[in-house]
Structure 1
Amino acid sequence: MSAQEDDDPERFRWLAEGNARQARKRVSAKVVICDEDGRVLLVNPTYKQYWDLPGGMAEANESPIAAALREVAEELGFTARIGGLLLVDWVAAHGPWDDLLVFVFDGGTVGGDDLLRMSVTDEELSDFAFFSLEAAKARLRPDMWSKLRRAVAAKRVGAVLYEEFHHSRPG
């Protein structure tokens, strides 16, 4: 597009109207962080029945990586080191919720000073801890366990996975 087209107020208005009518997607960014023993970091939200991976919802016009970094910092007072993308999961609309894209990133391995810096710094959490995969499975909602399991598998083989999760709907 030429600079002249960028400066055309009528074209800009037309583009803005088209943008306003397009669908919006909710985006969540989660992080798989392990300790030196290979255990996975989970957080215990006060507003959910189950534990969860660190991370949360992206804000308007925030990239998934920026959301992951912000959420981990807000929740645990810790600056994560985000590596590659491990998993993208599309979650179908369910209950009152529209559909959602979940990005799961590799947060690497933490130890030493990083562990000492971690603490619950958000009233949305009551606790955090590192768990073996088997112990994590017992604490996570089944769909989140599936995301963690697939993200860990992707990390092992150096892949990025994409999948779709469809909630069961009453017939």
Structure 2
Amino acid sequence: MTSDPSSRSVAGVLPVEQYVAGLPRKRMAAGVLFRDGADRVLLVQPSYKPNFEIPGGAVEADESPWATAQREVREEIGCDYPLGRLLVVDYVRPQDSRPEGVVFVFDGGQLTEDDVAAMVFAESEIVSADFHTMAEARGKVKPLLADRLESALDAIRLGTTVICEQGRRIA
């Protein structure tokens, strides 16, 4: 009898190694929602695409979503703010040649105009950052992100984490 765990079968069907190799792969991303005292949201303007975003990005191999969020905030706006609680877990269907994925949004807390003025943007990646009302944000971000931001603001008001599909709250 072999002691190699990869040669063992899962429920008598496949060796573990084959089973694991056949599992679906999902992309993951993480972002941070910063806001001001009036609940306006901080949006960054990337240089490489027309729509605005919140600080964040793709989770890299062997990186947790919360580590991604902290890394992206440091890289994009030059700040090392403590990461708050998880606000949103959003399942996103495949779109625009991207596979399905899961997006996490963490609470970055409240910032001031002085905090924004002190930000150091990632060279050639971020052009600007500023606070926007949700009505303004809807005109600057993709609809999916706008829905996710509304859900994140709901999570803050409710003191909970919300579960979303395509940015819309389901729980």
Which bin holds the TM-score, normalised by the shorter protein?
A: 0.7 to 0.9
Residue 39 of structure 1: how far off its partner (Å) = 2.3
| Contiguous gaps of at least 5 residues in structure 2 | 8-14
Q: Are the equivalent residues in 2 in contact too, given 1:78–1:114 (CA < 8 A)?
A: no
Residue type of the alignment partner of 1:76:
I
Residue type of the alignment partner of 2:5:
R
Residue 143 of structure 1: how far off its partner (Å) = 0.9
Q: Give distance in 2, aligned partners of 1:65 and 1:52.
A: 17
Q: Are the equivalent residues in 1 in contact too, given 2:116–2:129 (CA < 8 A)?
A: no
Alpha carbons of structure 1 residues 23 and 108: separation in structure 2 relative to 1, 3 Å: same
Query: 4+ runs of 1 displaced by more than 6 Å?
Result: none
Alpha carbons of structure 1 residues 113 and 142: separation in structure 2 relative to 1, 3 Å: closer
Q: Which residue of 2 aligns with 1:169?
A: none
Residue type of the alignment partner of 2:150:
R
Q: Are the equivalent residues in 2 in contact too, given 1:51–1:140 (CA < 8 A)?
A: yes
Alpha carbons of structure 1 residues 61 and 136: separation in structure 2 relative to 1, 3 Å: same
Q: Deviations over 1:71-99 (max 9, x none)?
A: 01000110122111111111101231100
Residue type of the alignment partner of 1:134:
A
Alpha carbons of structure 1 residues 150 and 112: separation in structure 2 relative to 1, 3 Å: closer
Moved more, 78-87 or 63-72: 78-87
Q: Give distance in 2, aligned partners of 1:76 and 1:134.
A: 23
RMSD after superposition:
2.2
The SS at the match of 2:29 is: strand
Q: Which residue of 1 aligns with 2:104?
A: 103
Q: Deviations over 1:108-146 (max 9, x none)?
A: 112387445412124222211112222222211111100
Q: Give distance in 2, aligned partners of 1:43 and 1:119.
A: 12
Q: Give distance in 2, aligned partners of 1:70 and 1:49.
A: 23
Residue 67 of structure 1: how far off its partner (Å) = 0.2
| Contiguous gaps of at least 5 residues in structure 1 | 167-171
Q: Which residue of 2 aligns with 1:42?
A: 43
Q: Deviations over 1:6-59 (max 9, x none)?
A: xx4x21465444433322211110111113443211011122221111111110
Q: Give distance in 2, aligned partners of 1:42 and 1:21.
A: 38
The SS at the match of 2:74 is: helix
